[in-house]
Structure 1
Amino acid sequence: MANSNTQIASVDCGNGNTAAMLAGSKKSISFPSIRARITSKTLGLGQGHELDFTSAVWHDNTYAVGDDALLVNRQGIDRHMGINRYGGEHHQFLTAYALARLGVKSGGVDLTLLCPPAMYNDLRKPMQDAYSKQGVEIKLKDDKKPREWVYDSVNVLPEGYAAVGCFMLDASGNKSALAGKLAGDVVLLDAGAYTANVFRLHNGAFNPADLPQSSIQNGGGNTHIRLPLLEWVHGAGGDLTAVTLDDIDRTLR
């Protein structure tokens, strides 16, 4: 449990976007889950004469993040994709970057993470261990010194299941008037970039036995929105054949 000096946060690092929220201030942020490594060198031409973008120093490397990564280096994009990404270095970077952008500078963080429900039993402990074994050090572009904090507590929930709380609880954590919407048998669908997660609830209760069958591969926006849109744009011919999925994503955002 968090003490009075611990900041409470939740970060969802998906294939497409990273979304985070800081309790108390209720600040939130969302950005594409991509980065590009850059040099910190400048030509010395002054403001307005060089490309300006947000960046962060992490493990002795400097990265442009989100849409800024596309501006800097489209050929060197590092994407947060694949089963092995959960709890990995890129996952931890996106989490730290999101929290830093939300204002976390030091102290402790009570962190909640999310992972695909079908992989929850396998990923929960490794994710907790990866985040808990060492502290965080990250420096944003305009920071005079690095931000440093530790994760006092790391909780992992199945993706989509946290949405149940939006119906069960109000902003103060008390039972919401919307809780009645979960009476009886309810199906909750969480569509991500690559997978879709389906939960069957009974009176708001989740059946853990459903976990292995709860994620649908290729059931998300990539298969049903991004790729069809890209094919349609390419069909127009001409210069539009150079359009990429990154361009589709930027347009959708």
Structure 2
Amino acid sequence: MGDKTKRIVIKIGTSSLVLPSGQINLRTIDRLAFTLATLSHQGYELVLVSSGAIGVGLASLGMKERPAEIAKQQALASIGQAALMRIYSQRFLDYQTHVAQLLLTRDVLEFPVSRQHTLNTINTLLAQHVIPIVNENDPVSVDELDHHTTFSDNDELSAQVATTIDADLLIVLTDINALYTKDPHKYPDAQAITEVPVLTPEIEEAASGSSTRFGTGGMVTKLRAAATVMKAGKQMILCNGENPKIIFDIFDGQQVGTRFGK
């Protein structure tokens, strides 16, 4: 990790926060809180982009299947977001760290005035050593021709947040160890790609879809996030979020996952 790296956005996906059984993965959340709190105490400025509202909503109501109706999904997100923030607040306070909630829609980051207000809020929180926890405002987001407020996924959201706040690095925690030459879930001979200085058609072709019923993003969306960050002259690291303490390895300079950018 370079000496100039100070402001970091960490994105964690639903697959890391919700167990295959549908229950909340408290061990991962606790490790995430410990790791980020430790780094915050060391002077790093951290923003957490967290998925999981619908998944946690399902767990809260004891439901197994994600409903097809948009209104029901948005209601679950509303329930789950409150539960998720309660867990985050408790866990981070265990490590003497405060968190704050920011729920964003696409238009907020597209319009200059609201974008600047969002940046001002995040900068103020970071100056007070508070970790903003960002998610899409799912209960009110809509995707219509004249009112497009949704992000395609939280991978895109994390990249937009990272570029908005001029973060030095985006770390994407997911359910796979790295970017591979092909889908490692299907092909045992798939090879990990450790460095991606530029995105090529071959690399984009190797991307595969999501492997979880709880999440919405796949490798394609992560490559789009990487492209956004790289265009801004920054870097992104994609790695396995099963144990978020892997972030310590990144800061110790170890080779972890796939690094995008020069």
Same fold per superposition (TM over 0.5): no
Query: What TM-score do the two structures reach when normalised by structure 1?
Result: 0.31
* Structure ID, larger Rg: 1
Give TM-score scaled by structure 2 length.
0.31
Q: Larger helix proportion, structure 1 or 2?
A: 2
Q: Choose between structure 1 and 2: higher strand proportion.
A: 1
Q: Which has the higher contact order (CA 8 A, sep 6+)?
A: 2
